[in-house]
Amino acid sequence: MNPVVMKFGGSSVADAACMRQVAALTRAALPQAPLVVLSAMGKTTNALFAAGKAAESGDLPGALEGHRALEAAHRRAAADLVGQPLPLALDETLAELFGELELLLRGVALLRELSPRSMDAIAAFGERLSTTLFAAHLKAEGLDAAWVDARTVMRTDGNFGAASPLFQVLDREARARFLPLLGPGRVLVTQGYIGATEDGLTTTLGRGGSDYSAAIFGAALGATEVQIWTDVEGVLTCDPRVVPGALPIPEISFSEAGELAAFGAKVLHPATIQPAVEARIPVTVRHTLRPQGRFTTITGEVRTGRPVTALASRGPITVLTVASSRMLAQSGFLARLFEVFARHKVSVDLIATAEVSVSLTVEADAPLKALAADLSAFATVEVSEDRAIVAVVGERLKHTPGVAGRALGALGGINVEMISMGANEINLSLVLRRSESEEALRRLHRALIEEGVA
């Protein structure tokens, strides 16, 4: 039987009460052979990063204080979930995990060096701990539950902090290690976010990597569905903190979801989408505390006919405008331009060209001085910082007359400095001052979604 993959983020397993809710959802899914993928509890990952940084700075007492606070919090949660005294096996596992963490912190403090490899080893404790407690709780509740260390399955390269999965190897490992433990009436618990090199060195997939783990495992196992359980009822038409009237979207395409994620939507990690796209597995985004509420299904293709699906915004970003009269009738200018960005390993998001100038957007942390210096060798460079990209996303966007005009009309006195649409028929991107981005989102939402596009 093909399993269902259920991923729960940090807010869903923040404490013992949250874990009980997750256990109830898991129990309800027993007929579907659930594979449960967990993030670390609450702010655990942040606390682990802070402890590692404290140790690196030579503040061993501060690092150990953070260690003690984490151990106390996890032991309180364990007692709440399985009762006191803790079962011997669980008590010994917790002691072993926190002992290993203390040794790592002491080693970092001794060397005053926190390499990406060491930070990954420290950060991974969050998921190792949360899944240990959750599996123990399921067993205490009488469920047939198994626990597998994701590092034995999620094989990656050695790019610590943002490792890339080795898909061929991990597909084989997933089938070998997961499938024998999966079946109706049984639960398999594992970790998101973490992996290991083929030499067994712990790695992480980067922030938001638990969603990616769930999608990868789902694809490897041919899952019926990948469920992303979080604290919102699916994907919304805009960030509700900016637009309180944002609406839930019942169904959205992989392409639309990918665009929204890339341009600032917080529900999904951008890389989550790709494994599911390739395996044609639907992804649903659900609210942990409202399991019977609204949710969004993300599928390969949606034919709703709607011109605009949702809005998203990302910032701060920086706009570089590169101008040179040499562009006129000269081949190779753009190649020379992009060679500079490639040399500095800077990714360009949007680009717009005119007769003698090119405007490009880059992330705010790009090496602007170095870029400007190299570009100045053959062009003049204007730098505009603290900008934002506001994206209007919809499958029928390009094929619906008047959308761009209505969008620009709705913005009124807000100055749009750059527009990009030609390269992608489902995304109209507008660049403006970041201070005006929230007002722009509210106006666009009202004009394009609440009032609708004729």
Judge whether residue 385 has pLDDT over 80. yes
Higher pLDDT, 35 or 426: 35
- Least Cα distance to 309 among 230, 436, 411, 403 occurs for 403
Domain-located, residue 303: no
- DSSP 3-state of 297: strand
Lowest model confidence (mean pLDDT) among 235-244, 294-303, 385-394 = 294-303
Average pLDDT, the chain: 90
Quick: pLDDT tens for 75-84.
Answer: 999 999 999 9
Quick: pLDDT tens for 186-211.
Answer: 999 999 999 999 999 999 998 778 99
What is the number of domains present in the chain? 2
Burial per residue of 142-173, b for 16 or more beta-carbon CB atoms within 10 angstroms, e otherwise: ebebbbbbbbbbbbbeeebeebebbeeebbeb
- Cα–Cα dist 47/38, whole Å: 17
38 and 155 part of one domain = yes
Residue 338 is encoded by which pair of tokens? 């992009």
User: What pLDDT is recorded for position 325?
Assistant: 72
Q: Are 311 and 238 in contact (CB under 8 A)?
A: yes
- Give the mean model confidence (pLDDT) for residues 220-242: 90
Percent of the chain with pLDDT over 90: 61
User: What pLDDT is recorded for position 233?
Assistant: 81
Q: Which of 177, 202, 230 delimits the end of a domain? A: 230
66 and 179 part of one domain = yes
Residue 121 is encoded by which pair of tokens? 């080893």
Quick: pLDDT tens for 331-371.
Answer: 677 888 889 989 999 888 888 887 778 888 989 999 999 99
Q: Which of 187, 203, 230 delimits the end of a domain? A: 230
- Cα–Cα dist 312/268, whole Å: 12
204 and 75 part of one domain = yes
Higher pLDDT, 421 or 183: 183
- Cα–Cα dist 176/184, whole Å: 18
Domain-located, residue 400: yes
Which residue segment(s) compose the domain that 442 sits in? 310-450
208 and 340 part of one domain = no
Quick: pLDDT tens for 292-328.
Answer: 888 888 877 766 667 888 899 988 999 999 888 765 5
Higher pLDDT, 373 or 260: 373
325 and 199 part of one domain = no
319 and 201 part of one domain = no
Domain-located, residue 167: yes
